[in-house]
Chains A and B, each alone.
Chain A
Amino acid sequence: MNLNATLVAQIVVFFVLAWFTMKFVWPPLEKALDERAKKIADGLAAADKAKTDLTLAEKRVGEELKKARESAADVRGGAEKQATSIVEEARAEAARIVAAARAAAEVEAAAVVQRAKEDLRGQVAELAVAGAERILRREIDAKAHADLLSNLKQELS
């Protein structure tokens, strides 16, 4: 354990190495570590934000879904109402048509019956006159008995 000029050399080496580290080792390492710390912090912040966003989005989705469901129910309600009213109208229309048709048919049928009755009456009168003519050819004078025959015809109607 003797002291000599090595001491001085060692002091010089000491400062040279310290300077080298200060210049070329420390700053890049510090920069890399700080950058990484920032990156991680940013990543965590982004993750947090994403989580909040997701919650918000889920809430909004829920609301939209509810709204859509409500409007769908509205539409369905409206459609049902409309359908009912259409069916009602159609039914009324159909009833009206049926009634009209029935009335027309009845009128026509009545007319036909009337006509037939009149025809029949005419024919019966003629047949009766003809029959009576045949039976009473000689005894009955058509002209003399015209009032009688006309009365008979009236009674039969």
Chain B
Amino acid sequence: MATENEAQGPNASDYIKHHLVHFNSSGHKQEKLVDFHIINYDTVFYSASVGLIAVLLMAIAARKATSGVPGRFQSMVEMLFEMVADQAKSLIHSRESRKFVAPLGLTVFMWILFMNAMDFLPVDLLPRIWSDLVGPVFGIDPHHAYQRVVPTADLNGTLGMSIGVLLVTLYYNVKIKGLGGFAHELIAAPFGDKWFLAPFNFALTMIEFLAKTVSHGMRLFGNMFAGELIFMLIALLGAAWTGPNAGSIALWLAGVVAGSAWAIFHIMVILLQAFIFMMLTLVYVGQAHEGH
């Protein structure tokens, strides 16, 4: 929701393009669709940092937690705890599994909430600090100093988490049903346990896992990417400043109004997306506990 000027150039297209390039190990925009030689430093840094802040905040609350009268901070963390614990209890019936999956749900919710909340920083704030102040220290050309601060607006970030959830569901599938049981289920469901249906069963189960994982990650990514893009477009209204004339002032005011409106709406979006991601995590793990 920034209305700062962009020194990069008056070209709106360039501004958006510049903002959509990650600070990665190649130093320029990734050309290939999939390239595992490249890593996005910014996504890893911001996701790990806010993740650490999130869990440390909760750890502080947990450390001070007493069974006596709770303070406000403790109450807030306890409310989150209860929310996740209740959902986990209703979706996962194994008490043993909940010992890991419920904390996982809480982590995912808080982590995604914090990563999404990076959207509320002015879109140019951290990128400009990077390109003008910090980047040059490391000898990075300001014109090619890229920085994207919302880890959930990077498909790698969200798919990474959804693949993590997939691994957890696979683990519990094997743990609950046994390796043989799980393998049998792969070829026996959903059409029926007939030898000639096995290939179709297997294909459909694979599609199911793939669809679950991709939609899980894509849903969050799409929402956050779109949100970030709209913040950039709103920022362009302010970037169109050409001097203290009527047109510039009108655009700037429009930027302020639109930026505020979108930011307020976005509060709901980031909460909702974090909650949905957490719920789906619990649902998928819960499904791993049930046979077809």
Cβ of A151 within 8 Å of any chain B Cβ, yes or no, is no
Bound state CA distance, A6 and B221, in angstroms? 14
Contact A5 B38 (CB under 8 A): yes
Q: Contact between A18 and B36 (Cβ–Cβ < 8 Å)?
A: no
**Could you say which residues of chain B place their CB within 8 Å of the CB of A24?**
55, 59, 62-63
Nearest CB of chain A from residue B98's CB, rounded to whole Å: 10
Let me know if B39 and A33 touch, CB within 8 A. no
A10 contact from B35, B67, B160, Cβ within 8 A: B160
What does the 1/0 interface line of A20-32 toward B look like (CB < 8 Å)? 1110111111111
- Are A26 and B103 in contact (CB-based, < 8 A)? yes
By a CB distance below 8 angstroms, the chain A residues around B40 are 4, 6
Known: A28-B65, A39-B67. A21 touches B106 (CB 8 A): yes
B229 to chain A, nearest CB (A): 12
What is the predominant secondary structure among interface residues of chain A facing chain B? Answer: helix
Smallest CB separation, A35 vs chain B (Å): 3
- Does B104 lie within 8 Å of A1, measured CB to CB? no
Q: Is the CB of A5 within 8 A of B36?
A: yes
Given contacts A28-B62, A39-B67, contact A3 B103 (CB under 8 A): no
Contact of A20 among B59, B99, B151 (CB under 8 A): B59
Residue ID in chain A nearest B36 by CB atoms:
A5
Residue of B nearest to A10 (CB): B160
| Known contacts A2-B30, A3-B155, A4-B39: A9-B160 contact under CB 8 Å | yes
B164–A11 contact, CB under 8 A? yes
User: Which secondary structure dominates where chain B touches chain A?
Assistant: helix
List chain B residues, Cβ under 8 A from A39. Answer: 67
A136 on the B face (CB < 8 A) = no
CB distance from B24 to the nearest CB of A (A): 7
Which one, A4, A11, A30, contacts B30 given CB within 8 A? A4
Binds A, one of B75-83, B120-128, B267-275: B75-83
- Closest Cβ of chain A: how far from B105's Cβ, in Å? 9
Looking at the assembled complex, report how far the CB atom of A27 sits from the nearest CB atom of chain B, in whole angstroms.
Answer: 8
| A18 and B107 contacting across the interface, CB-CB below 8 Å | yes
Q: Is A135 an interface residue (CB 8 A)?
A: no
Q: Which residue of A lies closest to B62 (CB)?
A: A28
- With contacts A2-B33, A18-B103, A32-B65 known, is A10 near B157, CB below 8 A? yes
- For A9, list chain B residues within 8 Å (CB): 39, 44, 160
Smallest CB gap from A1: residue in B: B155
Interface contact A6-B106, CB-CB below 8 Å: no
The contact of B44 among A13, A20, A27, by CB within 8 Å, is A13
A156 is an interface residue with CB less than 8 A from chain B: no
Cβ contact within 8 Å between A36 and B67: yes
The reply to whether the CB of A144 lies closer than 8 angstroms to some CB of chain B is no
The reply to whether the CB of B34 lies closer than 8 angstroms to some CB of chain A is yes
List which A33-92 residues lie within 8 A (CB) of chain B: 33, 35-36, 38-39
Name the one of A2, A8, A28, A32 contacting B32, with C-beta atoms under 8 angstroms: A2
Instruction: Give the residue of A2, A10, A14, A25 whose beta carbon is less than 8 angstroms from that of B103.
Output: A25
Q: How many Å from the CB of B62 to the closest CB on chain A?
A: 4
Q: Are A4 and B36 in contact (CB under 8 A)?
A: yes
B51 at the interface (CB under 8 A from A): yes
Shortest CB–CB separation between residue A28 and chain B, in angstroms?
4
Give the shortest distance, in Å, between B265 (CB) and chain A (any CB): 23
In-complex Cβ contact of B34 among A3, A13, A14, A27 (8 A): A3
**What separation, in Å, do the CA atoms of A39 and B37 have in the docked complex?**
56
Are B156 and A10 in contact, with the CB atoms below 8 A?
yes
A residues near B, CB below 8 A?
1-11, 13-15, 17-18, 20-22, 24-33, 35-36, 38-39
The contact sample of 22 A-B pairs, CB cut-off 8 A, is A1-B155, A3-B34, A4-B39, A7-B159, A8-B160, A9-B39, A9-B160, A10-B151, A10-B161, A14-B160, A14-B161, A17-B52, A17-B54, A18-B103, A24-B63, A25-B61, A25-B103, A25-B107, A26-B106, A32-B62, A33-B78, A33-B81
Further 13 A-B residue pairs, CB within 8 A, beyond A5-B36, A9-B39, A25-B61: A2-B35, A2-B155, A3-B33, A4-B156, A10-B160, A14-B108, A15-B164, A17-B107, A18-B108, A28-B62, A33-B65, A33-B67, A38-B67
